[in-house]
């Protein structure tokens, strides 16, 4: 097992990793920018080291600074959390060349799944259902038009190194294609350092369902069930739940087997998530694999009792999985609400100093957060400040508990999106489980029209 781990991240995921390491008896070093000098993860870690000024490219994305910090503090491993450099194969490779274990999958896993077009080709050969689309990145606009005609509009233009909703454009007719390709290329270059794009068929009213995978270096892999992630705005997840209201026992089993086939086909190691689209007829398609711990991993942990973060650390240390497939028995229902420092309906960020915090509790409630009274939510990073997860014997109880938890939450000094979650939890479509990936945007649009009429 590792002796000391550098946490190359911030916020609630850095706090989560500190806690997992402490339970495993591993010392931690918090890497922080000057904007996070007094952050909770810095206070909780055993040691602290500053890696640069607030801009992410000068701190949390600064590979030489992070590796130097790990070496200076005598670390033998680096945990990237999610976001930032967590899916950067070059960073994982640089860690290994510097004698540091990268707590994540093998470099080749990261690089293969990071190239979405290449990953599609690989999965098609492995017999995993894949949406119709280009077999490689699109080189010219004429080629893009030809592929779009072949698969039929609407199509989705995607950056090959995409993630987090960046580099995606829906195109409904040929006149929109050129602008979409240019925009996706620009976002891909800015966010991922590459301007390549590919096309795939856009599925109307599709659901986004993902399966949690854990795998060790001894060829053991287990899937921990699914999470429904269809409630999204601008391709950013807002609320997740498990199990999915849309899957019956047979479809769940088929998708679980497909998720394991993805992991097996690439010899996957560590924690990862296989993401699928499910159309209104129950046909599912592989979208991508995220080669890291997900923001919403807590949903799976509440359902299964399996610590996903600790399993990832153990796997990176060369230890076998602590569970087998027959040990995985999800129980009840879990819902996660992402609490962001932003206006609940316009999504305008709300950085600032937190004056007071009162976190919810009680039966079935878990809060993952880095919020603290007097703490600062800086304007430089993602607006996520907390995740509230409610677990119940069934979906109805989980919803009731989440409503209670959101009502108990009190954060003064910044604006949060709690009002959005409370409104969603009373929405008839959500309560009936009739959601899809564009549902929330349409719902928000209707609310905006109603508000304008009322005024």
How far is 16 from 388, CA to CA, in rounded Å? 14
Which whole-number Å values give the CA distances from 405 to 67, 73, 184, 202, 298, in the listed order?
40, 40, 39, 36, 16
- The alpha-carbon radius of gyration of the chain (Å, integer) is 21
All CATH 3.40.50.20 domain ranges in the chain, comma separated: 4-103
Strands 284-290, 356-358: pairing is: unpaired
Cβ-contact 71, 98 below 8 angstroms: yes
At 204 the three-state DSSP class reads coil
Task: Provide the annotated active-site residues.
Answer: 292
All CATH 3.30.1490.20 domain ranges in the chain, comma separated: 132-201
How far is 225 from 8, CA to CA, in rounded Å? 28
Which residues are within 8 A (CB) of 187 and not within 5 positions of it... i.e. 6 or more apart?
159, 166, 167
**Cα 133-260-364 angle, rounded to 5 deg:** 110
Cβ-contact 263, 250 below 8 angstroms: no
State the DSSP code for 9.
Answer: -
Pick the CATH number of 4-103 from 3.40.50.2000, 3.40.50.150, 2.60.40.1170, 3.40.50.20: 3.40.50.20
Angle between helical axes of 63-72 and 89-97 (0-180°, round to 10) = 30
Average pLDDT of each block of 10 consecutive residues along the chain (455 residues)? 98 98 98 97 98 97 98 98 96 98 97 90 94 88 93 91 76 93 86 81 95 97 98 93 97 98 97 97 95 98 98 98 96 98 93 97 98 96 97 98 98 97 96 96 80 63
Superfamily covering domain 207-451: ATP-grasp fold, B domain (3.30.470.20)
- Phi/psi region, residue 205 (left: phi>0; alpha: psi -120 to 50; beta: rest), is left
Cβ-contact 112, 125 below 8 angstroms: no
Dihedral in degrees, nearest 10, Cα atoms 94, 100, 105, 107 = 20
| Cβ-based neighbour number of residue 367 at 10 Å | 18
Burial degree of 13 (CB within 10 A; 0-12, 13-18, 19+): buried
Cβ-contact 421, 407 below 8 angstroms: no
Cβ-contact 409, 356 below 8 angstroms: no
Q: What are phi and psi of 360, to 5 degrees?
A: -75, 165
**Cα 181-182-184 angle, rounded to 5 deg:** 65
Q: Which residues are bridge partners to 398 per DSSP?
A: none
| Cβ-based neighbour number of residue 324 at 10 Å | 10
Model pTM score: 0.94
Domain 132-201, second-level architecture: 2-Layer Sandwich (3.30)
Q: What are 208's two structure tokens?
A: 């986004």
Angle between helical axes of 107-114 and 89-97 (0-180°, round to 10) = 160
How far is 11 from 384, CA to CA, in rounded Å? 8
**Cα 44-74-106 angle, rounded to 5 deg:** 90
How far is 288 from 127, CA to CA, in rounded Å? 15
Cβ-contact 116, 160 below 8 angstroms: yes
Token pair 């995985």: residue: 328
**Cα 296-56-51 angle, rounded to 5 deg:** 105
Q: What are phi and psi of 375, to 5 degrees?
A: -75, 160
Per-residue model confidence (pLDDT) at position 453: 65
Dihedral in degrees, nearest 10, Cα atoms 296, 299, 305, 311 = -10
Strands (E), 8-58: 27-33, 47-52
Q: What are 367's two structure tokens?
A: 């809060």
Which residues are within 8 A (CB) of 10 and not within 5 positions of it... i.e. 6 or more apart?
32, 33, 36, 39, 41, 60, 370, 381
Q: What are phi and psi of 337, to 5 degrees?
A: -110, 125
At 65 the three-state DSSP class reads helix
């Amino acid at each position: 097992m590792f002796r000391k781990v550098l946490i190359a991240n911030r916020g609630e995921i850095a706090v989560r990793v500190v806690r997992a390491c402490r339970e495993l008896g591993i010392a931690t070093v918090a890497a922080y920018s000057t904007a996070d000098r007094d952050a909770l993860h810095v206070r909780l870690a055993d040691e602290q080291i500053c890696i640069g000024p607030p801009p992410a490219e000068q701190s949390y994305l600064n590979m030489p600074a992070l590796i130097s910090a790990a070496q200076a503090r005598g670390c033998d491993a680096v945990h990237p959390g999610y976001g930032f450099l967590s899916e950067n194969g070059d960073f994982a490779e640089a860690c290994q060349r510097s004698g540091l274990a990268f707590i994540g999958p093998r470099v080749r896993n990261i690089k293969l799944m990071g190239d979405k077009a290449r990953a599609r080709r690989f999965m098609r050969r492995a017999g995993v259902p894949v949406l119709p689309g280009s077999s490689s990145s699109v080189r010219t606009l004429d080629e893009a038009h030809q592929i779009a005609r072949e698969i039929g509009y609407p199509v989705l233009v995607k950056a090959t190194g995409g993630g987090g909703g960046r580099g995606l454009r829906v195109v409904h007719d040929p006149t929109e294609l050129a602008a979409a390709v240019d925009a996706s290329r620009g976002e891909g270059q800015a966010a991922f350092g590459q301007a390549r794009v590919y096309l795939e068929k856009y599925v109307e009213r599709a659901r986004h369902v993902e399966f949690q995978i854990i795998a060790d270096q001894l060829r053991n892999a287990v899937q921990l069930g699914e999470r429904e992630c269809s409630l999204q705005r601008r391709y950013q997840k807002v609320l997740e739940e498990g199990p999915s209201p849309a899957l019956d026992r047979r479809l769940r089993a088929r998708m679980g087997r497909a998720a394991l086939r993805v992991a097996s086909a690439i010899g996957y190691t560590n924690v990862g998530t296989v993401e699928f689209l499910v159309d209104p007829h129950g046909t599912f398609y592989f979208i991508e694999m995220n080669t890291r711990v997900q923001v919403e991993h807590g949903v799976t942990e509440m359902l299964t009792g399996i610590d996903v973060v600790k399993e990832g650390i153990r796997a990176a240390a060369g230890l076998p999985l602590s569970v087998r497939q027959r040990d995985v028995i999800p129980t009840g229902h879990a819902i996660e609400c992402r609490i962001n420092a932003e206006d609940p309906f316009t999504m305008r960020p709300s950085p600032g100093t937190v004056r007071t915090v009162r976190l919810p509790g009680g039966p079935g409630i878990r809060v993952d957060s880095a919020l603290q009274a007097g703490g600062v939510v800086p304007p430089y990073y993602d607006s996520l400040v907390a995740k509230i997860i409610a677990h119940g014997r069934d979906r109805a109880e989980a919803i009731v508990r989440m409503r209670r938890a959101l009502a108990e939450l009190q954060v003064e000094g910044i604006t949060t999106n709690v009002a959005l979650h409370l409104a969603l939890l009373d929405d008839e479509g959500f309560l009936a489980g009739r959601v899809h990936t564009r549902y929330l945007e349409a719902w928000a649009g209707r609310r905006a029209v109603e508000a304008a009429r009322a005024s």
